[in-house]
């Protein structure tokens, strides 16, 4: 007799419970963390990652990927469980080392520590703001680089946010901008569970979040968080809407499945405890042991998902190669943006233009990997080559750069050679120019 095959929904439930209990067991082992949020939002997260999110687990920096941000960063185990199952370089040992010093699974997601974590989150609301920025960056890339029916920067940005994110001001300022700019590539899933760290949201929060977002110009959709089909339908609608960002309000239950802690703040920031963990496993039909169980079927299921994601990446690679061949200069500009360098020799020309006959002296003072700031204290216009480079440096159009250049009194260039910083104090060159030499900063330019 052959083993009975599971229906799709049964397999999906198994996958979702794997995510839930990886989170529960990791928090339990660490004796610290937030099990409730992953338990409540496991279904929407699974549906998103399996059916919608575009990624390559073997190449987390693939430019064609969608972005996923966990604005509710305290639910980090949700993200780690997904990354682990999806095949990112986050082995089970890291899941079992959750919240331990030196692990790749810190209490809140940290960009640069964990492969696949797009941005550091934890400060509530911040992830939404970063998601807006990423969605906008993608659209700006479309405007500059799209052609032949392809844009290398096109992607969707998905975020999961909680009540705390919605209470913060930063999320609403950013959401307002996203509505204004019609960022149809942005989709926020709202974990609407009516609970926060201190108890029910009603003690501090009675906004109608859906109405706020509607007022910002968003499409607002609603779904039960545990209804696979309804979540899928909502995400389909969100993806289909290209003129407005979408908020998917997920009616969820914090600590779903934990008989005594579900829908209470106790599921928020403390381990379930051994008894409640067992009770939750029984309630959801999950084996009591071993801890950190990933059933073989779930492994196989995520392998199949990975194969499909790889196929999609292959399609993208083909389209990208065609796009690159059609206009190599455009492709070079795209690469320079990605690599955060000034394209095609402009860098050197700018350096010469800024320092003129003092370029050699400036190179002596300046150093590679350092940033030289020139203070144009006389407010005279910038040299023409600098103005021509401004669109790249300042991300402005040429005409705007011409208009704006009077305002830019700090100007950045990166000297191509040199060894050490001599001073962070102003240096006066022979021609009277004052130069600041500073460690490299991410800012391209500051307004005076
Ligand atoms: C800006 C900011 N303020 C406070 C906190 C501390 N904090 C962490 S989680 C949390 C409650 C979040 O509630 P909610 O988003 O509803 O998450 P849930 O309890 O539903 O998982 C708070 C206040 C924080 N992380 N960031
Ligand atoms: Mg909540």
Is 381 found in the same domain as 248?
no
pLDDT score at 336: 83
Same domain, 308 and 432: no
Domain end: 315, 334, 357, which one? 315
For residues 139 and 270, membership in a common domain is answered with yes
Residue 80 Cα to ligand 1 midpoint, Å, equals: 19
Each residue of 118-127: pLDDT tens digit? 999 999 999 9
Q: Return the ligand 1 atom nearest residue 165 CA.
A: 15
In a domain, 324, yes or no: no
Domain co-membership, 25 together with 132: yes
**Domain with 187 in it: what CATH number?**
3.40.50.970
Band of residue 419 on the pLDDT scale cut at 50, 70, 90: very low
Residues 285 and 350 in one domain: no
Q: What percent of the chain has pLDDT over 90?
A: 72
In a domain, 220, yes or no: yes
Q: Which atom of ligand 1 is nearest to the CA of 267?
A: 19
3-state secondary structure the chain: CCCCCCCHHHHHHHHHHHHHHHHHHHHHHHCCCCCHHHHHHHHHHHHHHHHHCCCCCCCCCCCCCCEEEECCHHHHHHHHHHHHHHCCCCCHHHHHCCCCCCCCCCCCCCCCCCCCCCCCCCCCCHHHHHHHHHHHHHHHHHHHHCECCECCCCCCEEEEEEHHHHHCHHHHHHHHHHHHCCCCCEEEEEEECCEECCEEHHHCCCCCHHHHHHHCCCEEEEEECCCHHHHHHHHHHHHHCCCCCEEEEEECCCCCCCCCCCCCHHHCCCCCCHHHHHHHHHHCCCCCCCCCCCCHHHHHHHHHHHHHHHHHHHHHHHHHHHHHHHCHHHHHHHHHHHCCCCCCCHHHHHHHHHHHHHHHHHHHHCCCCEEEEEECCCCCCCCHHHHHHHHHHHCCCHHHHHHHHHHCCEEEECCCCCCCCCCCCCEECCCCCEEEEEECCCCCCCCC
Residue 447 inside a domain? The answer is: no
| Residue 362 sits in the same domain as residue 213 | no
How many whole angstroms from 186 Cα to the centroid of ligand 2? Answer: 21
pLDDT in tens, 357-377: 555 544 444 422 223 334 333
- Indicate if 302 and 399 belong to the same structural domain: no
C-alpha of residue 372 to centroid of ligand 2, in Å: 46
Q: Kindly list the protein residues whose Cβ atom lies closer than 6 A to any atom of ligand 1.
A: 36-37, 72, 74-75, 122-124, 162-165, 168, 191, 193, 195-197, 254, 268
Q: In the prediction, which pLDDT does 370 show?
A: 28
Taking the complete model, does pTM exceed 0.95, yes or no? no
Closest-approaching ligand to the CA atom of 125: 1
Query: Ligand 1 centre from 124 Cα, in Å?
Result: 6
Domain shared by 162 and 97, yes or no: yes
Worst-scoring range by mean pLDDT, 30-39, 157-166, 375-384?
A: 375-384
Neighbours of ion ligand 2 (CB under 5 A): 162-163, 193, 195-196
Residue 250 sits in the same domain as residue 158 = yes
In the chain, the number of structural domains is 2
The predicted pLDDT at position 77 comes to 98
Which of 299, 315, 331 delimits the end of a domain? 315
Among 39, 196, 199, say which to mutate for ligand 1: greatest number of ligand atoms within 8 Å of CB. Answer: 196
Which residue's CA is the closest to the ligand 1 atom numbered 12? 164
The residue whose C-alpha atom lies closest to atom 10 belonging to ligand 1 is 197
Q: What atom of ligand 1 comes closest to residue 197's alpha carbon?
A: 11
| Res. 340 pLDDT band, cuts 50 70 90 | confident
Average pLDDT over every residue of 77-104:
98
Residue 141 or 420, more confident = 141
Which of the listed ranges 147-156, 378-387, 391-400 does the model predict with the highest average pLDDT? Answer: 147-156
308 and 414 both lie in a single domain: no
Residue 227 and residue 171 share a domain = yes
pLDDT digits (tens, 9 = 90+) for 175-218: 999 999 999 999 999 999 999 999 999 999 999 999 999 999 99
Which domain does 397 fall in, by range? 346-439
Asked whether residue 105 is assigned to any structural domain, the reply reads yes
Structural domain includes residue 74: yes
The answer to the question of residue 445 being in a domain is: no
Q: Could you tell me if 51 and 139 lie in one domain? A: yes
Q: What pLDDT does residue 442 have?
A: 32
Residue 402 predicted with pLDDT over 90: no
pLDDT in tens, 213-248: 999 999 999 999 999 999 999 999 999 999 999 999
Residue 291 is assigned to a structural domain of this protein: yes
Residue 122 CA: which ligand 1 atom is closest? 25
- Given 315, 331, 363, the domain boundary residue is 315
Nearest CA to ligand 1 atom 13: 196
218 in any annotated domain: yes
């Amino acid at each position: 007799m052959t083993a009975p095959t599971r229906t799709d929904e049964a397999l999906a439930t198994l996958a979702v419970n794997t995510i839930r209990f990886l989170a529960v067991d990791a928090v339990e082992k660490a004796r610290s963390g937030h099990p409730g949020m992953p338990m409540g939002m496991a279904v929407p997260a699974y549906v998103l990652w399996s059916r919608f999110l575009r990624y390559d687990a073997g190449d987390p920096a693939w430019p064609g990927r969608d972005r996923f941000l966990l604005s509710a960063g305290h639910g980090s185990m949700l993200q780690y469980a997904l990354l682990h199952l999806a095949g990112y370089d986050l082995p089970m040992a890291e899941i079992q080392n959750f919240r331990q010093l030196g692990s790749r699974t810190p209490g809140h997601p940290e960009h640069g520590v964990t492969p696949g974590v797009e941005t550091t989150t934890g400060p509530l609301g911040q992830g939404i703001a970063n998601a807006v920025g990423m969605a906008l960056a993608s659209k700006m890339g479309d405007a500059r680089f799209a052609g032949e029916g392809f844009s290398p920067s096109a992607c969707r940005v998905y975020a999961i946010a909680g009540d705390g994110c919605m209470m913060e001001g930063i999320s609403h300022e950013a959401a307002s901008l996203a509505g204004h700019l019609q960022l149809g590539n942005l989709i926020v899933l709202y974990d609407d569970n009516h609970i926060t760290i201190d108890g029910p949201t009603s003690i501090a929060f009675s906004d109608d979040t859906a109405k706020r977002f509607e007022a910002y110009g968003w499409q607002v959709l609603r779904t039960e968080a545990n209804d696979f089909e309804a979540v899928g339908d909502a995400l389909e609608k969100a993806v289909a809407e290209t003129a407005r960002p979408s908020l998917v309000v997920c009616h969820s239950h914090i600590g779903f499945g934990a008989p005594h802690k579900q829908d209470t703040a106790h599921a928020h920031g403390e381990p379930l405890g051994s008894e409640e963990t067992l009770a939750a496993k029984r309630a959801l039909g999950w084996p009591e042991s071993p801890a950190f169980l990933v059933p073989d079927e779930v492994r196989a299921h995520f392998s199949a998902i990975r194969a499909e994601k790889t196929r999609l990446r292959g399609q993208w690679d083909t389209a990208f190669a065609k796009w690159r061949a059609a206009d190599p200069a455009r492709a070079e500009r795209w690469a320079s943006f990605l690599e955060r360098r000034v394209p095609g020799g402009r860098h050197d020309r700018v350096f010469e233009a800024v320092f003129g006959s003092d370029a050699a002296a400036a190179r002596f003072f300046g150093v590679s990997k350092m940033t030289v700031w020139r203070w144009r204290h006389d407010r005279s216009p910038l040299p023409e080559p600098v103005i021509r480079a401004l669109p790249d440096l300042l991300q402005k159009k040429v005409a705007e750069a011409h208009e704006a250049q009077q305002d830019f009194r700090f100007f950045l260039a990166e000297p191509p050679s040199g060894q050490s910083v001599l001073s962070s104090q102003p240096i006066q060159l022979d021609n009277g120019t004052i130069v600041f030499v500073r460690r490299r900063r991410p800012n391209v330019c500051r307004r005076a």
